[in-house]
Structure 1
């Protein structure tokens, strides 16, 4: 049963990256008294170059366009490149903090060491700052500490004996190509970071070999000059997937092959005909570099011994370093055991209602702790709006029965844990009551169905609507030459 309060509830937000910042913005809008905690000395999460958990590197740019790597209240500055540099993303988040006066509510350099229920109701956070420990009480807590903090390195026979001079590391520890000059490097994995780093190293003359268990379909960042997520992660695609998953998978594979071809055409490994079983990844230069012989492709590692690595097909190679781009484990070691057990916490995820709540943890919410294919920021904002809307005075919080049914359904689900951005965006938008109806906006129908799911498209209706949302939706849909004619049939 939800607590009632005579004064605005005090909400702790764990994490001052994009998820924590957007949670703070929307909770403040509903009148909550907020405090953000982050172990780093500055905001930004992954986009804080000095952050201890940042997996970015000098010169890194976003994988998604500036239109889709933003929140609805704030666009990137004019002249920003299509794909935003790490430093510009950090500056963008800093401007967002300034706009919504968030810094005055922050406790940076403050590590959360334990979160547990408080005997008097609410939640207790054990904190450490400047070597001093203290306990603070909050009525509610949002955990927005990030999904990508603990790099996962799988077990490989003999890996502990690897004797290359650069050793074994995770791609989250990569700090640039200069270290590997004139070296031979093995990259293990088919994630975006693995392919991006392989391509960057190959461009600087490093001898690069990449290996993986399964070949994903590889999309370029741009299709005919249009960012891939603008063309593929649309409302129409999400609706089609809900109506007929098999037909949607077939249609998606056809789109991908038309845009990028099959991996084996470039000399990479064959991908499973079922695109959802194979998975999708993205890199503008990886497949061309394979075709040019600048990146060698091998199946997964069978064993390592000294500098030598033997692959599953019996081929071998000697390497100076191995970088594993093999994903992340969900790490929340500071949760009280009772909380971790309740949410069924594993390295892969949790069992929650709408990825946000648990019926046995009143006043606790989780934000952004899922694997997503595609742009994160629009989805984070929609989830933050949903959580804030549920918690606000008079908000429509799901009932215990609804949450229990949702959790039971989540347990029955099978398939990949990674989910597409456009599907999750529409789920949160519907829960938050902010999904625009194309029928109510006939002049925007084509843009809303076939254009990108831009953040502004979810500010067209409701109490949080923006006066310039219509113009911004059209601008996003027609950006990069992909003109969406308002008169064209949807």
Structure 2
């Protein structure tokens, strides 16, 4: 064995990290505070923000790892099927016996050249540590004057604690926020019999449905072309192209009776939801400006309108929460509720032997970039690829620090390609002429990152062609007129200097 590794968390991030560490010869031990593996997908109160009626907001192809397929033929899976998949994955790769359930890690600290992990009244020493405890466990509730006085019978709570939709039947519910959880819960409530559903938001986002012309939206919007465009085209042109895709799929929210968003998609932001806008158009969801104050059961909105509610649900994001890291580690990372200093959210040169998994805030599915990040970690520690230079790491961390305070949302394709490049598994377009269109404009399916580089698979080309053609998205190598126009706009980058990708992989909005 190459060395012992403590992996903190048995959700998707912890499992995929342990799988690839094991493949590189390491001896991983997985610590899980809950009674079962799965992280968010367990649906357990207090340990998960998944609610009983929730389905994935990413397609089946993009909610999988590269070496295990789903058994279901559904396009968007119910949460229990994702949990089943994670159990199958752990069994398939010998991880289940390595998981210590009901074991809360209380402290991680450096110990000479190794690490001490404190849990259950004991200390264990490991050569390395992977922090994969999850990004979405500490709800961020915005300050609202008088919120602590709210007297509605269903109280005010976070979307993280939304577990019983039936309790809101025939009730007046205010949903705060415009992220996926807020819009999906608002739609859930409207469809399951709430008397009135109002969504309060600071700004109107564009809303992308799960399907566009029968194709999952994540197959169209999170593409390799989108990453290349971000590196070569002016931001205004990237904004225009993304907005073109979104408007074609769903129209402008104002067409449904919602407020008009900013003309810039980057300024407005975009959220995924299949039913939200149609329900707004039917009057089953009402959109209101942001809350100004709360007094008892009465909420007053900006502009002066007031209304009584039985319950408030906040879908307003999450804070970073890593309470088990020692003060020295927290200081090195300059950790706060939104930021941690690290090279591409993974390594810090002052913390050798520590890696962080899944701690960036993202739009789009996490499974594909999580696997790529895990491979990068395992390949780096296992010697399959050269480690990042200290100078390069410090330069990227400095660039990240320069953006603190700016929007930190990351598009899935930017994260995936950044990790794929770091791991040495980004496929070269010239090597795959028959797959070029799929590699540019098709889904960033996990199989496309097994085409070449370490751990390439002989059947990856066939698998990727099949996944790219699923749902009729990419059925030939002949580009559409729009794709040819888009590709020609950046093809000159082969002879021009490419703009370096932002080290924090973010996009405003």
1:442 alignment counterpart? 433
What's the offset of the Cα at 1:394?
Answer: 5.8
Matches within 5 A, 1:226-375: 226-244=215-233, 245-375=235-365
Tell me if structure 2 keeps the 8 A contact 1:40–1:51. no
Picking from 110, 115, 123, the partner of 2:108 is 115
Distance of aligned partners of 1:483 and 1:400 in 2 relative to their CA distance in 1, 3 Å threshold: closer
Change (3 A) 1:471 1:317: same
Structure-2 separation of matches of 1:210 and 1:191? 11
**Does 1:96 pair with 2:86?**
no
Give yes or no for contact 1:16–1:38 (8 Å, CA) kept in 2.
Answer: yes
Which consecutive residues of structure 1, in runs of 5 or more, have no partner in the other structure? 1-6
> Is residue 428 of structure 1 aligned with residue 416 of structure 2?
no
> Given the two structures, how large is their TM-score scaled by the length of structure 1?
0.95
Question: Do residues 62 (structure 1) and 56 (structure 2) align?
Answer: yes
SS, match of residue 21 in structure 1: helix
Aligned length in residues: 478
| 1:251 Cα offset (Å) | 1.1
The answer to which of 349-358 and 43-52 deviates more is 43-52
Q: Could you tell which deviates more after superposition, 313-322 or 478-487?
A: 478-487
Q: For 1:72, what is the secondary structure of its paired residue?
A: coil
Distance 1:230 1:263 in 2: 22
* Structure 1 Cα separation of the partners of residues 364 and 479 of structure 2: 27
8 Å contact kept, 1:66–1:82: yes
Gaps of 5+ in 2: 485-509
Matches of 2:453 and 2:251, distance apart in 1 = 42
Does the residue aligned with 1:210 lie in a helix, a strand or coil?
Answer: strand
1:152 maps to 2:140 = yes
Give the TM-score taking structure 2 as reference length: 0.92
- Whether contact under 8 Å (1:181, 1:205) holds in the other structure is yes
Aligned to 1:271, what secondary structure does the other structure show? coil
1:70-89 alignment to 2 at 5 Å? Answer: 70-77=64-71, 79-89=72-82
Which of 474, 482, 485 is equivalent to 1:483? Answer: 474
Q: Determine the C-alpha separation between the residues in 1 that align with 2:239 and 2:478.
A: 29
- CA RMSD, 1 decimal: 1.3
| Offset of residue 483 of structure 1 | 3.3
Alignment partner, residue 377 of structure 1 = 367
1:3 match: none
Equivalent of residue 28 in structure 1, options 22, 28, 31: 22
